[in-house]
Amino acid sequence: MGSQYCNPSDLTTYGINPIALSDVSLPEQTAACVAASERADSYMRGRYSLPLLSWGQDVTMMTAYVAVYMLMSARGYNPSAGADDMIRVRYEDAIKWFEGIQRQNTHPDVTPSVALGQNAGPDLPQVRTSPQRRYQEFSGSGTPSVS
């Protein structure tokens, strides 16, 4: 398992009014934070060595948006009612943001468990070839010669 990028306290800091979570237990909130963190890892593992050692508030906030959406979708909310629409919009924004990380268009402040460039696995493209082969060179008359 990777890191847990948000905690139940982050849900109300970044994602939702505390009153909306009053009927959602702390274990349910924690489970949503863990699930949202695993969802975030599913995008970040293609780019960084996990688990991350540290991350910025942007990762925490976007993970909290995903966790709030998961909780409210399970509990029920009205996406056409005023601020409730922001739950879905923030979730969609968070997913796009994580997709940007995966595509290397978004660059969060993170510290992977292996520094970039030291582990070519997820950091850089890999190229594998067959054993080295000899190439033929052609003389001026067109006769091949093996070098």
pLDDT digits 0-9 by tens, 80-128: 566 678 888 999 999 999 999 999 999 999 999 887 555 555 545 555 6
Of 90, 101, 113, nearest to 40 by C-alpha is 101
pTM, entire model: 0.75
pLDDT band at 20 (very low <50, low <70, confident <90, very high): confident
Report whether 65 contacts 93 (CB < 8 A): yes
- SS3 for 122? helix
Count the Cβ atoms, other than its own, within 10 Å of residue 16: 24
Residue 146's pLDDT is 61
Tokens coding 26: 């702390």
Q: Which of 46-55, 58-67, 118-127 has the lowest mean pLDDT?
A: 118-127
- Please say if the pLDDT value at position 77 is more than 90: no
Q: How far apart are CA 110 and CA 3, in angstroms?
A: 12
Segment 30-35 shows an average pLDDT of 97
Task: Name the least confident of 19-28, 30-39, 107-116.
Answer: 107-116
Cross-strand partners of 110? 55
Answer for the pair 120, 126: CB distance below 8 angstroms, yes or no: yes
In this prediction, residue 58 carries a pLDDT of 97
What pLDDT sits at residue 82? 60
Query: Count of CB atoms within 10 A of residue 51's CB?
Result: 15
Q: What's the chain's length in residues?
A: 147
Q: Which whole number is the average pLDDT over 3-23? A: 92
For residue 15, CA distances in Å to 30, 40, 91, 119, 133 come to: 14, 16, 10, 35, 58
More confident residue, 16 or 134: 16
**d(Cα 10, Cα 31) in Å, to the nearest integer?**
13
Rounded to whole angstroms, the Cα distance separating 27 from 20 reads 16
What pLDDT is recorded for position 134?
Answer: 59
- What does the mean pLDDT of the chain come to? 84
